[in-house]
Chain A
Amino acid sequence: MTVHKKSGWKDIPKGGLIVEPGNSEKYETGSWRSVRPVRDDNKCTHCLICWVYCPDSSIIVEDGKIKDIDYAHCKGCGICAAECPVNAITMKNESEFRAEKGEKK
């Protein structure tokens, strides 16, 4: 049973059960973010302290380097920006990004 956002009552598991383990990854929880972290690649030293502190595993790392931020799950708590030792992350108001295309909420 695949559950979509628009699934009707006949097409979802009964009792509110989640029968597909680990599916929270598919549930986008970044929609209520009001400010977002923006990383300056020129300043970033890839020390990974933000990755350690992020409570939502939203710092995407590849080959030991920070590649991106997962805005589908980042809630804009600002911990990464506060912890960054070189101030490479700034929190920007979400309204600045409304016009951006092709980006998940």
Chain B
Amino acid sequence: MTKKNLVAITGNDAAAYAIKQINPDVMAAYPITPQTALVQKFSEYVADGLVNTEFVTVESEHSAMSACVGAAAAGGRVMTATAANGLALMFEIVYIAASSKLPIVMPVVNRALSGPINIHCDHSDSMAARDSGWIQIYSENAQEAYDNIIQAIKIAENMKVRLPVMVMYDGFITSHGIEVVDFLDDKVVSEFIGDYKPNYPLLDTEKPLTYGPLDLYDFYFEHKRQQAEDIKNSKPIILDVAREFKNISGREYSLFESYKLEDAETAIVALSSTAGTAKTVVDELRDEGKKVGLLKPRVFRPFPYNELAEALSHLKAVAILDRSDSFGAFGGPVFTEIRSAMIEYGKMPENINIIYGLGGRDINQQDLKNIYAQLDKIVETGNVKDRIQYYGVRE
């Protein structure tokens, strides 16, 4: 635990290294764009004989997830990875993986959905999949991507959960940027995740069973109700796994991260890499004597509505940032859910929604300072001029 194994590495290569250490039975992936270099790197490990994984190169992302569903139903530990339109093409089977209770783990490198065509970072891909029944975990940087992928295996495979997990990190910003990552030893990872015990393996011919039968109005609703319960019940397991992970890594994880939030008067809520930029801004503004903070959601599904609302309840004003839009809705997905949670909690600080960074448009420290300044003005005047804002778009 004290020994550091620091490597300068891209987010994709860090994710590939996590998968190498996990050593899944099967990885099925579509190898080219919109796929990222993660899968290319992992295929090198396969080619070099460093893992035992059966690597299935399929002709589309739809087939990738289909192969994963088949392999997971057969009884294997299964992973894949995707991004953007690849996730969109998988969509039909993404739902089937969750409804069949198959603990597939999939890094999703967050990139904008077309069209117009774009390959850069935003969260429109994974946010579109937020109702698919998968657990969703967002990562700020390469270290978190690596750590979350390893934790995701243990969460997904927990017998009380048995659900697929998506681990997100920001396209290009994290996927292609080089950062210092502290890797765990192979043995520590394999002991942490343990051997895979399939629940209902199709290959167990002693216990024949059927996956994916027709399920009409007589039972479909009951199966959906089960899914709602299972993902809700994954929350304590996610926290247990985080605690165990701290024991092997010294790194702390929870449902979300609060950064200088406890005594803050205003705060920003931001997912993934933007939260990293925001921490620097918080530090700078704190040096100027401003009581600002940050909340970075990590687990978006299951959505920790009560905990989030409680953590924000003491603020005077909060800006909730969305790197995707929900066209025609009252704000982006993070905003609508947090605002709803705050209303339920009974304490709602003044709030605005900042939709930003679509298609990879940069957000820098000055932008975040501007947003904190807006919050100051709201606190000062008590007025919210513009509840839902498209920040950084040219008028």
Q: Which residues of A contact B (CB under 8 A)?
A: 5, 7-9, 12, 14-19, 21
Contacts and interface: CB of A to CB of B under 8 A. Distances in A.
B208 interface: yes
A16 B208 contact: no
Q: 9 closest Cβ contacts across the A-B interface?
A: A15-B101, A9-B222, A18-B210, A9-B225, A21-B208, A15-B100, A19-B209, A16-B215, A16-B223
Given A9-B223, A9-B225, A21-B208, A16 B218 contact: no
B190 interface: no
14 contacts: A12-B222, A14-B101, A15-B100, A15-B223, A15-B226, A16-B100, A16-B213, A16-B215, A17-B101, A17-B200, A17-B209, A18-B210, A19-B200, A21-B209
A15 B223 CA distance: 7
Given A15-B102, A16-B219, A19-B200, 14 more contacts: A9-B229, A12-B222, A14-B230, A15-B200, A15-B226, A16-B211, A16-B213, A16-B215, A17-B100, A17-B101, A18-B209, A18-B210, A21-B209, A21-B210
A11 B47 CA distance: 46
B226 A14 contact: yes
Contacts of A16: 99-100, 211-213, 215, 219, 223
B207 interface: yes
Contact of B219 (A12, A19, A21): A12
Given A5-B218, A19-B200, A12 B213 contact: no
Nearest to A15: B101
The secondary structure that dominates the A interface is loop
A15 B95 CA distance: 11
Nearest to B212: A16
A17 B209 CA distance: 7
With most chain A CB atoms within 10 A of its CB, the pick from B212, B223, B225, B230 is B223
B219 A15 contact: no
Nearest to B100: A15
Given A17-B200, A18-B213, A19-B200, A12 B207 contact: no
Given A9-B223, A9-B225, A17 B211 contact: yes
Nearest to B101: A15
Interface string B15-59: 000000000000000000000000000000000000000000000
A102 to B, nearest CB: 24
A7 B225 CA distance: 13
A15 B99 contact: yes
With most chain B CB atoms within 10 A of its CB, the pick from A9, A12, A15, A17 is A15
A14 B227 CA distance: 8
Contacts of B211: 15-17
With most chain B CB atoms within 10 A of its CB, the pick from A8, A16, A17 is A16
A17 B222 contact: no
A21 B205 CA distance: 11
Nearest to A5: B218
Nearest to B215: A16
Contacts of A19: 200, 207, 209
A82 to B, nearest CB: 27
A7 B162 CA distance: 22
Nearest to B230: A14
Contact of B222 (A7, A18, A21): A7
Contacts of A9: 221-223, 225-226, 229
